[in-house]
Amino acid sequence: MTAQTRIANPATTIVDLTIEGMTCASCSGRVERALRGVAGVATASVNLAAETAQITGSGIAAATLIAAVQKAGYDAHDRKTLSSADEATRHAADARHEWVQLGIAAALTTPLVLSMIASLAGFAMALPGWAALALATPVQFWTGARFYRASYKALRAGAATMDVLVALGTSAAYGMSLYLLVRSWLIGGTPALYFDSSAIVITLILFGKILESRAKRQTGAALQALTALRPDRATLRLPDGSEREVSVARIALGNLVVTKPGERIAVDGIVRAGESSADESMLTGESVPVRKSPGATVTGGAINGDGLLLIETTAIGAETTLARIVRLVETAQAAKAPIQKLVDRVAAIFVPAVLVVALITLLGWWLANGQLEHAILSAVAVLVIACPCALGLATPTAVMAGTGVAATQGILIKDAETLERARLVDTVAFDKTGTLTEGQPTVIALDAAPDSDPATVLRLAAALQRASEHPLAKAVLARNEGNPTQTATSVQALPGRGIEGVVDGQYLALGSDRLCRDLNAAPGALTARAQALEQQGRTVSWLIDQGDATQQRAPHVLGLIGFGDAVKASAPSAVASLRARGIRVVLLTGDNQGSATIAASKLGITEIMAEILPAQKANAIGKLRHEGRIVAMVGDGVNDAPALAAADLGIAMATGSDIAMHSAGITLMRGDPALVAAALDISRRTFGKIKQGLFWAFFFNVIGIPLAAFGLLSPVIAGAAMAFSSVTVVSNALLLRRWRPAAKHP
């Protein structure tokens, strides 16, 4: 996949690198330390599973960072210069080379294995020493050359890694066998040779690494699938009406793109002509195709259905929805979960500690029984089984698999820290409008004060709402459609209360009961009507003439507008699902108490805070946290941004405002509240896989190292166990790819 150098802000540069040659947690830790040592680097995060590094800082250059990685003993490439095809070709070539090496190593090792099995079964079928030497030498120094090269680079950089353990262990077994064989040629005798052990260990480890690499690539399959959604070419409608197929990179904002039935939509845009449906399942997780007609928005990467669409381009390149999704998933997979930091600290001292244990094992057995051969084999077994591959893979593979499958279901997780935090959530606070309701209110009541009339109320309200994106504003404009709309001046949003501006010289305001009280504008004759609407669960907005600066005309109500907004079909079951998990559910809304109470009763929510401002929502979140609660806030509007930021976990609906999504740790690509429970579920399952992976990684080492040290484990069994541990950890993480949200509404 291709990732570009991105500018987070004018002072910060983000560089993505591909790292080659890492084999264990010690490797990723050393690369990280090397990158952090470069002047100007603020943060560096290395992902062993993805073989990538993400570096942020000021005044940093990719070339300087690559040089630092190479000095540490590894290779690196700027991912901006690599295309998806380049990386795929490189991975394919590496895989072919490894399989060829494995095939040759297996062919050379098989006679040694058969001879060993025959000897254990009591048959005198041992290979001649010279034959065993001839078979084992290519495996040791050709197949095993990768371990020697990596060990040299690591030791030159003053570090010890898995490769050092493998090279040291197999060399000891091979060297001891060679010594015994030569001595037998010189002084006679029949030596006990262990060429089979060194060859089998190298072959098994190589086989394990191939399986591990294949599994690691599968953990990133979801991201690769998202990246593959980008079409390379599109049909451009030219000004003269002709059409031409061009590269997507040549399309500019405002260009008209023709999308034929069955084609993948190439750009984000607005349908200008045509009727069709679009399959957006890979982007939003919604399996039902969405109807598209003139005026509807479409997203690049979706598949056009049975109609021809003419689309005006509104976003290109890195600003498209698909590009932002890919970037968000990449960032989440590159970042480290907090638990990984503990693993990194353990890995930093693990290999040196193993070398000490192996030395103690060697000296202990030699001093205890005087048998140097047994002492060396026991030490070799310690070195081989202790390779910390599984330890380094447990967290990143689970994070990659979890964030990847979540993205395919329409759940975008900002980073690994968010993923880890989400599992602890015990309280969910919901905004109402647009989150639990459809967010498409309609005007169902329009009443004027005695000194006004409904037509005037609608005309003035529409003038104020003309530039607003609020759902209530759209409802007003829809009701006024077909009538002339005036232009208001000095328009200003009043967060959580409404909007104000000047129309025809009148200083007007339109908003909630709170705004009415703040302006001391009594509802008067409309009081009873407003109460009746609120008891029906309607939202009421007041149009207020704010008077003038001389106070010759006091603020007074001109009329009211009542809005109806249906509860989302999936909302009651979404709330029930959360409550079934033991999660406390709270409703926070700026709407009136009556409307909030009616909606809450339909949803099954008993805790309500109504008529609150955005800052008060954030304060309410703070109070819940002060009680010791781990709080998730779910919202979709600009007014929800403070509360999203104040919560332990912010969850934003992508159907809402951009600022809400920027404030959130999780973004739901479709406005389905059922995805809230799904997001918490995938976080818990992912963290569960992390814990399982770490358990198995430590289990193999905690059990295997003592067994090897006490001489109860041969190098061959140790090699098989080490390879098996890595494959087990990665394969277990891959089970996350089968996850699907539990709740689906019709």
Calpha distance 654→285 (Å, rounded):
13
Window from 5-14, 223-232, 682-691, 697-706 with minimum mean pLDDT:
5-14
The amino acid at 277 = S
User: pLDDT, tens digit, for every residue of 301-314?
Assistant: 888 888 899 999 99
C-alpha distance from residue 253 to each of 182, 303, 315 (Å)? 77, 21, 6
Q: Which residues pair with 72 in a beta bridge?
A: none
Q: Which two tokens stand for residue 193?
A: 């040779």
Q: Is the pLDDT of residue 393 over 80?
A: no
| Model pLDDT for residues 50-72, shown as the tens digit of each residue | 788 888 888 888 899 999 998 88
Measured in whole angstroms, how far is the alpha carbon of residue 272 from the centre of its chain?
Answer: 34
Going by C-alpha positions, the residue among 526, 530, 546 that lies closest to residue 538 is: 530
pLDDT of residue 337: 66
The residue ranking higher by pLDDT, 101 or 701, is 101
- Among candidate residues 205, 198, 207, the one with its CA nearest the CA of residue 139: 198
- Give the model's pLDDT for residue 550: 55
Q: What is 188-228 written as a DSSP string?
A: -------HHHHHHHHHHHHHHHHHHHHHHHHHTHHHHHHHT
pLDDT at position 319, please? 78
CATH class of 413-437+567-669: alpha beta
Active site residues: 431
- pLDDT-derived band of residue 439, with 50, 70 and 90 as boundaries? confident
CA distance 588 to 585: 10
Q: Is the dihedral of CA 702, 706, 712, 718 positive or negative?
A: positive
**What confidence tier does 484 reach under pLDDT thresholds 50, 70, 90?**
confident
Mean pLDDT value across residues 373-402: 79
Residue 727 confidence (pLDDT) above 50? yes
pLDDT in tens, 564-616: 888 888 899 999 999 999 999 999 988 778 888 888 888 999 999 988 877 78
pLDDT computed for residue 8 by the predictor? 42
Percentage of the residues of the chain whose pLDDT score is greater than 70: 87
Pairwise CA distance, residues 204 & 724, whole Å = 9
Q: What is the phi/psi pair of residue 248, to 5°? A: -60, -30
pLDDT at 5: 37
CA distances from 631 to 348, 397, 620, 634, 644 (A): 35, 27, 11, 10, 10
**pLDDT grade, residue 471 (50/70/90)?**
confident
Q: What backbone torsions phi and psi does residue 104 show, to the nearest 5 degrees?
A: -65, -45
Pick left, alpha or beta for residue 544 (phi over 0 → left; psi -120 to 50 → alpha; otherwise beta): beta
| pLDDT tens track for 268-305 | 999 999 998 888 776 766 667 888 889 888 888 888 88
Q: What is the pLDDT of residues 548-573, one digit of tens each?
A: 655 567 788 999 999 888 888 889 99
What does the pLDDT read at residue 218? Answer: 63
Give the residue, 43 or 316, on which the prediction is more confident.
43
**What is the distance between the alpha carbons of residues 512 and 497, in angstroms, rounded to a whole number?**
5
Q: What is the pLDDT of residue 296?
A: 87
Residue 139: pLDDT band (50, 70, 90) is very high
Greater model confidence, 141 or 10:
141
What are 683-724's pLDDT values in tens digits? 999 989 988 988 888 888 888 889 988 988 878 787 777 777
Q: Please give the DSSP secondary-structure letter assigned to residue 285.
A: -
Nearest alpha carbon to residue 300 among 233, 207, 372, 386: 233
- Per-residue burial over 73-106, b if 16 or more Cβ lie within 10 Å, else e, is bbebbbbeebeeeebeeeeeeeeeebeebbeebb
Say how many residues make up the chain.
746
Residue 527 to residue 724: CA distance in whole angstroms: 74
Contact 632/425 with Cβ under 8 angstroms?
yes
For residue 9, what pLDDT is reported? 46
Give the global pTM: 0.70
Q: What is the pLDDT of residue 746?
A: 37
Strand ranges in 495-554 using DSSP code E only, listed in sequence order: 498-503, 506-511, 539-545
Phi, psi of 580 (to 5 degrees): -65, -25
Q: Are 183 and 176 in contact (CB under 8 A)?
A: no
DSSP code of residue 640:
G
SS3 184: helix
6-82 is a CATH 3.30.70.100 domain: yes
Residues 6+ away with beta carbon under 8 Å from 75? 19, 20, 21, 69
The confidence band for 48, taking pLDDT boundaries of 50, 70 and 90, is confident
Structure tokens at 19: 């790292």
Amino acid at the residue 250: R
CA atoms of 431 and 634, how far apart (whole Å)? 6
CATH class of 442-564: alpha beta
Q: Which residue type occupies 593?
A: Q
pLDDT confidence bin for 2, thresholds 50/70/90: very low
Give percent above pLDDT 90 in the chain: 19
Which phi-psi region, left, alpha or beta, contains residue 470 (left: φ > 0; alpha: ψ -120 to 50)? beta
Segment 97-115 shows an average pLDDT of 88
- Rounded CA-CA distance 437/209 in Å is 51
pLDDT at 93: 77
pLDDT by residue (tens digit) across 422-431? 999 999 999 8
| DSSP H/E element including 413 | strand 411-413
- For residues 172 and 380, the answer to whether their CB atoms sit within 8 Å is yes
Residue 268 carries which side chain, given as an amino acid letter?
D
**For residues 28-40, average pLDDT:** 88
Domain map (residue ranges) of the chain: 6-82, 88-222+336-402+686-738, 230-320, 413-437+567-669, 442-564
CATH of region 230-320 = 2.70.150.10
Top pLDDT among 304 and 469 is at: 304
156 within 8 A of 73, measured Cβ to Cβ: yes
Q: How far is CA 428 from CA 88, 414, 588, 652, 711, in A?
A: 42, 18, 10, 12, 55
| 457 confidence band (pLDDT: 50, 70, 90) | very high
Cβ–Cβ under 8 Å, residues 191 and 180: yes
Mean pLDDT within 211-235: 71
The pLDDT mean for the chain works out to 82
